[in-house]
Amino acid sequence: MMEAEPTWDLYQTFLAVLSENSLAGAARVLGLTRQTVACQIKSLEDAVGCDLFIRSQRGLEPTEVALELRSYAEALASTSAALLRAASGYGSGVKGRVRVSASEVVGVEVLPTILAALRAQYPDLVIELVLSNGLDGLRRREADVAVRMAEPAPEAFVSRHVGSITLGLHAHERYLNQRGVPATLKDLSRHDLVGFDRRARSVLNGVSGFERTRFALRADSDLAQFAAIRAGFGIGVCQAPLAARSPELVRVLADAFKLDLSTYVVMHEDLRSSPRCRVVFDALVDGLTTYTRAAQPLT
């Protein structure tokens, strides 16, 4: 075993090989030669005192040791990235990198407009957008600010409730003109439904009449489901304020079917005093508060 502690670049190469399952693939990702990648893996193997990969027909397969070390290497990568983001924001004014995490529908359909306005106001701000549904990214410092549809535990997080996003049944007017508008939930048995495939955690899990076997199109991507609804495939669940942006989308059975997702903007307590993170947090709170109020009935 080597006496010197392995340098960060060895762990970075280790993660790249794990991801690509080959030396050549890791070399392309890292911008290195295949030989350099091989040498770095050998150096790390010498340091830990055992083999990390074995060759197979499917490429380089990680050993049990490599799989055990993976989470530690990923933690190093997250810490390194967070360190660089923090360093990028020092100096006068709002500048540097902020990593934002959100679900795919919110990240693709809602946040770009909010972030574009923010960038226009702060041209030295760089946004890294990650599509994810879990809070683990915040805990591991893989994200600075997150949009989540569940109230976070108070542990070291600053959070702001921005309202509830209403989910409803929607279909393209073209589909409804061809197949008719359902008057009751029972009428859905005569319609093509869009829903989840294998996802264990879905808002429709356990809802009577929306079992997986009923769906004519199944996808675990909410974005794919929304695209199918918008294309006129059938009736499916999507965010009411998002559907309200498309006049051709019609909400059906609004009184019979409605789900509300409490929505929060969250960041780590340690970032409260960071100018770049604070402006992003505040912009998301303002923008999403406006978004959640859309398509809500006036009182």
CA distance 238 to 229: 8
How much is the pLDDT for 82?
66
What whole-number distance in Å separates Cα of residue 34 and Cα of residue 11? 16
Distance CA 126, CA 297 (A): 36
Per-residue confidence at 215, pLDDT binned at 50, 70, 90? very high
Phi then psi dihedrals of residue 220, to 5 deg: -85, -5
Whole-prediction pTM value?
0.68
Rounded average pLDDT over 94-115:
92
What is the dihedral sign for C-alpha 11, 15, 21, 22?
Answer: negative
Which H or E element spans position 150? Answer: none
Residue 147 pLDDT grade (very low, low, confident, very high; cuts 50, 70, 90) = very high
- For 221-273, how does the pLDDT look when each residue is reduced to its tens digit (9 = 90+)? 899 999 999 999 999 999 999 999 999 999 999 999 988 999 999 988 878 88
**pLDDT tier, 2 (very low <50, low <70, confident <90, very high otherwise):** very low
Which domains, ranges and CATH numbers included, belong to the chain?
A: 8-80 (1.10.10.10), 86-159+265-287 (3.40.190.10), 165-260 (3.40.190.10)
Q: What is the pLDDT of residue 205?
A: 65
At 58-87, the pLDDT tens digits run 778 888 888 888 888 877 777 776 666 666
Among residues of the chain, what percentage have pLDDT more than 70?
A: 85
Q: What pLDDT is recorded for position 298?
A: 45
Half-sphere exposure of 18 (CA within 13 A, CB side): 19
Cα 72 to Cα 272: distance, rounded to the nearest angstrom = 27
Give the N- to C-terminal CA distance of the chain in Å, as an integer: 71
Q: What size, in residues, is the chain?
A: 299
Give Cβ neighbours of residue 283 (< 8 Å, ≥ 6 apart): 114, 115, 117, 118
| Number of alpha carbons in the 13 Å side-chain half-sphere of residue 165 | 25
Phi, psi (deg, nearest 5) at residue 226? -65, -40
Dig out the tokens for 143 from the structure: 């994200």
Q: Any idea which of 19-23, 46-50, 76-80 has the lowest mean pLDDT?
A: 76-80
pLDDT given at position 166:
92
151-176, pLDDT tens digit by residue? Answer: 777 666 888 999 999 999 999 999 99
Whether the per-residue pLDDT at 283 is higher than 60: the answer is yes
